Structure 1
Amino acid sequence: MTDTVTIDHLAHRGDGVASMNSKPVFIPFTLPGEQVEIERNGERARLVSIVTPSPSRIEPMCRHFGTCGGCALQHLEGGAYRAWKEEQVAAALASRGLEAEISPIVPASPGTRRRAVLTAVRAGGRVLVGYHERMANRLVAITECAVATPRIVSALPDLTRLADRLAPRKGELRLTVLDTTSGLDVAAEGANGKAARDFPGLGRLAAEADFARLSVDGEVVIEIRPPALNFGGAAMVPPPGGFVQASAEAEAAMADAVLKAITGTKRVADLFAGSGTFALRIARDALVHAVEGDKAAIGALDRAWRQAPGLKTITQEVRDLFRSPLRPGELESFDAVVFDPPRAGAKEQVAQLAASAVAHIVAVSCNPATLARDLRILIDGGYRLCSVQPVDQFLFSPHIEVVAHLKRG
């Protein structure tokens, strides 16, 4: 049985929302103002047909849109899409009673996402490589991608051949693919044990595909060329499968906002520093203390710093900032702190920052909701919110990066 409804607005995950019997129903791939026919299943529904399309609806760029769960908003015109993302940031801040002038979002370009996390499974005698459907376990095998770099898209046949060797009989293989200055860095996790030990065969496959490096379950199989990323002139080789910002374009915009906020500072703490996205850039002008819980990431940062000419000292500390945040006494020697935590935010560390005398704080976040919570704590502790810069790192998804600058007093 189908129903016809009118979409009122987009929810924070990009689904259209309609009201039925005074209750919200979430319908993916719909837009505000559209009249649509749906099949309802509880609070969610499947789009059957569009009766009256929105003027903001456009043709999606990718043939897989609507089945692949990687993108949610390819059907929304660019200006309306960017305005919606900015509204998500404003709404998150407003939910915590915060008001700030929000700068226009830094846009993203198609084909610039340098890091992709693909899934591979065996199905019907063949291997599928792609992304899960939205809100489902079924895998969509992809042959193109509107957001990934051309080098990653071109490598899909080679990645499928690799998955055919490594995918377990049951379960999933995870492929983290990073487009670096020297080629693709491929890290496989969840491999078939026997196949994972065939280093000669895997090495030949990697060489034929011209991968820069291939790792399986954390162990480097072959490194033909160091898979380096350029962090402000410093060449950083990440640990296999390690976290880096998904887009070089967005990373540069975020770094520019961070550096602008701390101009003139002399000693900076970079918390949740990762492999040095910001620390290696900050060290051009200031002393840096980088703190990160991942030992391998800190090791990559240290090697990059030692090999890069002209940088000031970067001291490093491996520390779980959730369990052991830096306290006010440890923060007193810094005139600026930058922190870029996971999606859950940095509530424990922020509470200590709010009690500190640090002059400048720069918060970087991929989750406006937890960012707003953390900013509220800092503002209640006496900080003033000076600027908010959204960055569209994850094109066509509901996710948004934000850089916020606060000053004491």
Structure 2
Amino acid sequence: MSDIEIIERVAAKGDGVTATGRHIPMTAPGDRVMPDGTIEPGPHHAAPPCRHFGICGGCQLQHLDDEALSQFVHDRVVHAARGQGLEPEIVGGTHLSPPLSRRRASLKAVNGGGRPLIGFREAGSHKIVDLRECHILVPELFALVAPLRAMLAKRKGKYALEIELVLTDQGVDCAIKGLSLEGLEQTEAVLDFCRDNGIARMTLDQGYGPEAFWEPDPVTVSPGGVPVPYPAGAFLQATRDGEDVLAAAAREWLEGARVIADLFAGLGTFAFVLADPARVLAAEAARDAHLACQQGAARNRKPVKSFHRDLFRNPLRAEDLGRFDGVVLDPPRAGAREQVAQLAQSGVERIVYISCNPSSWARDCKTLIEAGYRLKELRPVGQFRWSTHVELASFFIKDSD
């Protein structure tokens, strides 16, 4: 009897799994696990493009080809649904964001033995991978790693910095936490970095909260093609194509709706896509995002009314939701248990639920099913390419009695 085992699927944390339940790291469906533990690559085992793969915590699945990666994203979403007894009538095709498409990144920087190290953390460690290449970030973000390294190389002493990079309409928005400027020389070095690299905005947190240090022009992003002020640190979908796919699903499913509620609206990612001809109420708890959405609507004359409200502590009530033709919600990873409970009682005919966490989504949506809604369609989205982090768009319908 042969002891060779075949990898049948990829588990949620990225390990390959055999028919006997063995978890084998860095394996792909179709790989053969030999009796001595060596791996014979199968048809879906790809050569990782990045030299840092296996050490850097930014990616877990570069050893999968696109077919296996798509299947992984599909399975994560569908299995989460079925785990709560949710059976979608339609499962749409899986969307994968391409390489070099991530438009926001959180990097770390430390003084490692007299030289700056900048990158993501190693998997399961606080050590920093000093990035020399990256196949997920848009080129505009990665192009700043070397200049940042050169700027920090002039500093002496220990430091541990958090660097947030976001690609905006005007260029890269760079926010650094933990970088204190002492004296004219250090101040001029940061100013030179901003000017020489065309930085759209530099925000520094020197221990007293973030403050804008450099911003030649107001920084904006453009959901649905509508320029909206971008508050430093505000939530933005990880990739432009991922945002477009999610927004297109919401627009398709809510076509013909005249009055729409956008819950957990952020900067108006979905509100501005749905506005015209619909009127949209955009509810958001973060005050800076709410005000940015409000300003974007006013300046561009869009029928979007931004509403400041904490939907966790004070969800919109069922009686208020009942006047909308459709609702879209995109809550944080924790989900929206209380708000969904109100939605379930509202009787609103169409609900679009966007989620970055299939587990909390499935838990919430079980409430909708129990209230008589149908899961009409489910679309898996792999916006974080080569990561175990997956997203989805879903569409629920309440049939008229």
Residue 174 of structure 1: how far off its partner (Å)? 1.3
Equivalent position SS for 2:397 = strand
Which of residues 268, 273, 282 is equivalent to 2:274? 282
Change (3 A) 1:132 1:37: farther
Distance in structure 2 (CA, Å) of the matches to 1:198 and 1:330 = 54
Distance in structure 2 (CA, Å) of the matches to 1:93 and 1:297 = 31
Which of residues 243, 247, 251 is equivalent to 2:239? 247
Which of residues 70, 73, 81 is equivalent to 2:61? 73
Q: Aligned ranges for residues 368-379 of structure 1 at < 5 Å? A: 368-379=358-369
Moved more, 186-195 or 223-232: 186-195
Change (3 A) 1:196 1:398: farther
Equivalent position SS for 1:215 = strand
Distance in structure 1 (CA, Å) of the matches to 2:178 and 2:348 = 44
- Give the letter aligned to residue 307 of structure 2: E
Change (3 A) 1:51 1:308: same
Q: Deviations over 1:25-45 (max 9, x none)?
A: 64432224535589xxxxxxx
Partner of 1:187: 175
- Give the letter aligned to residue 372 of structure 1: A
Asked if the contact 1:350/1:378 (under 8 Å) is kept, the reply is: yes
Which of residues 99, 104, 108 is equivalent to 1:119? 108
Partner of 1:108: 97
- Give the letter aligned to residue 336 of structure 2: A
Change (3 A) 1:98 1:288: same
What is the alpha-carbon root mean square deviation over aligned residues?
2.6
Moved more, 245-254 or 7-16: 7-16
- Give the letter aligned to residue 11 of structure 1: A
Distance in structure 2 (CA, Å) of the matches to 1:194 and 1:26 = 51
Q: Deviations over 1:199-249 (max 9, x none)?
A: 554233211221011111221101123332221121123111211001001
Distance in structure 2 (CA, Å) of the matches to 1:334 and 1:103 = 26
Asked if the contact 2:31/2:45 (under 8 Å) is kept, the reply is: no
Asked if the contact 1:89/1:368 (under 8 Å) is kept, the reply is: yes
- Give the letter aligned to residue 15 of structure 1: D
Which of residues 28, 32, 42 is equivalent to 1:31? 28
Distance in structure 2 (CA, Å) of the matches to 1:96 and 1:167 = 55
TM-score (norm 2): 0.90
Which of residues 117, 123, 136 is equivalent to 1:147? 136
Partner of 1:307: 299
Q: Aligned ranges for residues 99-248 of structure 1 at < 5 Å? A: 99-100=87-88, 101-164=90-153, 169-170=158-159, 172-192=160-180, 194=182, 200-217=188-205, 218-248=210-240
The higher-RCO structure (CA 8 Å, 6+ apart) is 2
Unaligned runs of 5+ in 2: none
Partner of 2:393: 403
Change (3 A) 1:238 1:126: same
TM-score (norm 1): 0.89
- How many equivalent residue pairs? 392
Change (3 A) 1:157 1:269: same
Equivalent position SS for 2:323 = coil
Asked if the contact 1:8/1:16 (under 8 Å) is kept, the reply is: yes
Which of residues 295, 314, 317 is equivalent to 1:327? 317
Sequence identity of aligned pairs in percent? 37
- 2:263 maps to 1:271: yes
Change (3 A) 1:149 1:166: farther
Asked if the contact 1:321/1:349 (under 8 Å) is kept, the reply is: yes
Equivalent position SS for 1:139 = coil
Q: Deviations over 1:272-316 (max 9, x none)?
A: 11111111221222111111111011111112112224x22x222
